[in-house]
Structure 1
Amino acid sequence: MNWFGNVERTIRFKRHIFNLWCSGLIFGFYPKYLSERVLSHHPVGTFLIRFSDTQAGSFGICFVSDENGPTRIKHYLVKQEDIGANKSLPEFIREIKAFQHILKFENSTGKSVKL
């Protein structure tokens, strides 16, 4: 299956992913550098979800952190062990203290939404 096919299958057959996608809570194939630019003006704890550009059908989370020093943008690749048969992506996100405010994709700007 091709790269887009894996993503399409993820959106289509995982209801919680479909709902996130339709709500604008997944930025799609948004590049890392643009994710960093969008988040650079947001407070610590703000994050966005995007499709991984290295693992087909997986998600990357880009977030603002001040852990271990000055505020900076970090990236996290969601692993199969993080989500799977027993845990959805939203459940995983709720467990991580660093992920407090999700950006919602609205045209070319992001809007912070409290989880």
Structure 2
Amino acid sequence: MKWKLGILLVVVLGLMSSGCVFHGFSGHSISLSETIGAGGKITLSTEGPGILEMEVVSDIPVHVKLVSEGGEVLRDFGITQNVSTRLRVSSGRWYLVISNPGNETGTVSARLSVSS
């Protein structure tokens, strides 16, 4: 009976450690769904270097841009309701800035993930 418990323990530990290894390669991911009022702003941050996958979906037009920690605009997507892209980012902190230039209140869903 003890040998079965030992085998089970080895299998469980093996699965847990492989999950940690694979998670290490998957990178950092963050997502949110939030209400944005007139003139409001939502900021998400992530850290490079790597391939940044970015998705923004909004039920109202919003202004979307990706900005470096130093204020350099890597990409300005303009006023839109949908952004889906992959970009290479250098090391440092990067900010996804979503602002509402209109007078309406709406819902924004955003996802950022960086992988090597």
Q: Which range, TM-score by smaller chain? A: under 0.3
TM-score, length-scaled by structure 2: 0.25
Higher RCO, 1 vs 2 (CA within 8 Å, ≥6 residues apart): 2
